[in-house]
Amino acid sequence: MTTTPEQPPTAAMRRRTLLASAFVGGAALFTASCSREDGPGRIGRTPRPTAGTEGTGSGEATFTLTVLGTTDLHSYVLNWDYFKDAEFSDDDGNHIGLAKAATLIKAMRAERGAATTLTIDAGDTIQGSPVGFYYARIEPIVGTGTVHPLAATMNAVGYDAVALGNHEFNYGVDHLNAFIEQVEFPVLCANALEWQTTTSAYPEYVIKEVETPEGVLKVGIVGLVTPGCAIWDKANVENKLSFNGIVEQAKITIPKVKAEGADVVIVSCHSGSNQGSSYGDALPFPENASTELAEQVDGIDAILVGHAHAEIPEQKIANLTTGKEVLLSEPYFWGRRVSVMNLGLAKQDGAWGVVSSSASLLNANTAEPDADVVAAFNDAHGKVRGYINSAIGTSTAAMPLAAARYSDTAAIDLINYVQAHSVQKALAATDVAGWPVLSIAAAFIREGGLPAGELTVRNAASLYTFDNTLNAVKFTGANVKEYLEFSAAYFKQVDATEVAADDLTNADGPDGRPIPDYNYDIMGGLDAPLTYDIDVAKPVGQRIANLAYDGQPLADDANFVLAVNNYRAGGGGNFPGLDGEVVFNEQKEIRQFIIEWVAEQKTIDPALFHTVDWRIVSNGRVVSVTA
Ligand code: MN
Ligand code: MG
C-alpha cells in the first residue's frame, strides 16, 4: 500500500485500513469520454432509472438525482509525480489527477444524463502539488493575468459548485480571490465570515434547478470548511476572516436554503467524518465535523466529505432529531476516486423527498486522461517540470542518507535543522518563544540525499520524499528519554564492537515484524546539541546513556518544543510523549520547508548544521558499523 517498502503509511492510509469498508467502486463502467452538451443545472431530459438505487426509505423513487464528487485535488491534474519526474505510482496501483477523474465524470454524465447529474468538489484545490506552489510563488496569478491551471482545468470539467478547503488560504486571501475570479462555477463557503461578523465572506450556497417528469427539482448545494483555518493560516486570515463551527453555521445556512425552496440539500463539506481535532481545544469547534453535521442539523440529504483524505464509498448517519439517514461519501484524495451519490426521489403530498440513497466510488486507475483537461493543462505541466528540474542552490558536500540509520549524518541533521529552525522562527512572538527546540527525523529512503554541487528542487525534495507536514508540541526532558528509548528498539541486541548494518538494524518489533527505517527517529537540538549514546548490548528500554542537552545531564522537568512530522504527531509508529500542547501546525509539507530553505540559502554547507551528537555503543564501547 505504499510507494516503497520504506514509505510510512500516512495517517489517511491508516484511517483507510481501519475503515475497511466495502469498496464498491473499482471498475470504471466506461472508457470513452463525451463532451457535455448541457450546462450545469439546465433543464434537461428525463433520465432512465438507475440500477444503483437501493430502498432505504418509504416508497418507490420516481426520479434519481446523481451527484458526482471529487475532493482534495491539491493541484494534481495529471498522473504525475513531479519530484520523481515520472508517472505517479504506488503499491496499491492508484492513479491520481483531475484529468482521469474528469473522464469518469464525463462518462457518468453520459450514462445518467448530464441534465440530472451535478458535479461538485469539497476543496483543497490550489495547494499541495508543485503546481499549486508554482502559480502562487514562481509565476503568481495575482496581478499577472496568468490563469491558474486548476481554474482552466476545472472549468473544462464543468463543475456545478466547489467548496473551499483549508489549504485554499495557504497562499493568502488575494491569491484565493484571484483564483475565484477565474472560475466559471460558484465557490462556496458558508462559515468563512468577514472578520468578527456573522456575514459570510463567500457564497454560502447555490441552488440548481433540475427538470424531472414531475416538474422542477431544486437542489441546494452548501459549502463548509473546517474551522482549523483560523489557526493553521492565522497569518493569512487574521483581521480578514473568522471561521464559524460547521454545525453552528449549518444551523443558520440550511434553513435559508430550505426557505429558498430547495427540495434536496447537499453539503460539500471540507471536514472529515471521523470525529476529533488535531488542534485539541485550541478552537471552540472541532476540526472534523461531518458526522455531527449529519446528526445534529436537520434538512441535509447528502454530504460530500473532504479534508481527511479517507476513502469512504458510502456511509449513512441517522439524524438525531428526524431519524432520517444522511448519505456520506469521500473520494479519497488527489483525484484517486470519484464519488457517485444516487438520490432516489419521490413526491409525497406534492413535496419531494429522498426515499432511497446509495453511493459508490469510481477508481481513476481505470480511466484514460480527459483530452480537454490535458489540453488545458499542458503549458502548466511543462513549466512546473522545468521549475522542478531547475537549479536553486549549491551544496558544498554530498549528503547521502545511506548510513543515516546507524550514524549521525549531515542529511538527517539538515532535516532536523530546517524543521527546528522553521518552528523557532514561527514561534518567535508566542509565549513559547525562547524555549529550546528539538527535532526528530528518520531516513525514509536509503538511496535518497543531496549530491555535491548544483541542487535542483528535485534534489532537495529527495531528502524528504513524503508529504508529511511540520508540527511542534511541548515536550519535557522525561519525554525525550522515553522517546529515544522507544526509537532505539530499532536496533538488535548486539554485544560486539564491529557489526554489519543488517545485523544491527530493523530488529523485530512488538508485532513480530522488522521495525522499518521510517520508525527509527533521530533527535537533535537546534541552539545546543542533544547528545546521547545508544547501548545496543542492553535490552530495549535501557539503552540510552549519557543523555545531555548543551553538555548538561537532561532534567526530567526540562521544557522543550519538539518539531515533529504530522505522521508521528498523529500516532504513526506509536511513539510516546507526543500528546503535549500543539504549538505549531501550519499544515505545510516538511519537503516544502526544505526546498524553500535551500533556495533561500543558495549555498548549503554542513558546517552550519552538522555535528556528531549520538553514536552506537555496546557495553560502553563504540561500535563500528559496516554497510
Ligand atoms: Mn487535503
Ligand atoms: Mg484539508
DSSP annotation string for 197-266: SSSBSS--EEEEEEEETTEEEEEEEEEEE-TTHHHHTHHHHTTTEEE--HHHHHHHHHHHHHHTT-SEEE
Residue 105 has pLDDT above 60, yes or no: yes
The answer to whether the beta carbons of residues 219 and 210 sit under 8 Å apart is yes
* Integer Cα distance of 501 and 404 in angstroms: 11
Q: How far is the CA of 8 from the centre of ligand 1 (A)?
A: 18
Q: How far is the CA of 467 from the centre of ligand 2 (A)?
A: 13
pLDDT at 38: 31
Q: How far is the CA of 193 from the centre of ligand 2 (A)?
A: 18
pLDDT digits 0-9 by tens, 407-419: 999 999 999 999 9
Residue 515 has pLDDT above 90, yes or no: yes
541 vs 29, residue with greater confidence: 541
Provide the grid cell at 473. 508540541
Q: How far is the CA of 501 from the centre of ligand 2 (A)?
A: 40
Strand-strand pairing, 205-212 and 215-225:
antiparallel
pLDDT at 448: 87
Phi first, then psi: what are they for 418, rounded to 5°? -65, -45
Mean pLDDT of the chain: 90
Q: How far is the CA of 315 from the centre of ligand 1 (A)?
A: 20
41 vs 517, residue with greater confidence: 517
What is the 3 state secondary structure string of 144-189? CCCCCHHHHHHHHHCCCEEECCHHHHCCCHHHHHHHHHHCCCCEEC
Q: How far is the CA of 74 from the centre of ligand 1 (A)?
A: 7
Residue 571 has pLDDT above 90, yes or no: no
The answer to whether the beta carbons of residues 447 and 6 sit under 8 Å apart is no
Beta strands (DSSP E) in 302-434 are: 302-305, 311-318, 325-331, 337-348, 351-363, 391-395, 399-400
Q: How far is the CA of 623 from the centre of ligand 2 (A)?
A: 45
Strand partners, 341: 67, 359
278 vs 111, residue with greater confidence: 111
Q: How far is the CA of 500 from the centre of ligand 2 (A)?
A: 44
* Integer Cα distance of 589 and 33 in angstroms: 35
The answer to whether the beta carbons of residues 560 and 426 sit under 8 Å apart is no
Q: Global pTM?
A: 0.82
Q: Which ligand is nearest to the CA of 278?
A: 2
pLDDT at 58: 60
* Integer Cα distance of 98 and 104 in angstroms: 10
Q: Which ligand is nearest to the CA of 287?
A: 2
Percentage of the chain with pLDDT > 90?
A: 84
pLDDT digits 0-9 by tens, 173-199: 999 999 999 999 999 999 999 999 999
3-state secondary structure of 549: strand
Q: Which ligand is nearest to the CA of 71?
A: 1
List residues, by chain if needed, whose CB lies under 5 Å from ion ligand 1: 72, 124
pLDDT digits 0-9 by tens, 303-357: 999 999 999 999 999 999 999 999 999 999 999 999 999 999 999 999 999 999 9
DSSP H stretches of helix in 260-339: 290-296
The answer to whether the beta carbons of residues 427 and 433 sit under 8 Å apart is yes
350 vs 121, residue with greater confidence: 121
Core vs surface per residue 153-165: b (16+ CB within 10 A) or e: bbbbbbbbbbbbb
* Integer Cα distance of 388 and 385 in angstroms: 5
List residues, by chain if needed, whose CB lies under 5 Å from ion ligand 2: 124, 165-166, 307
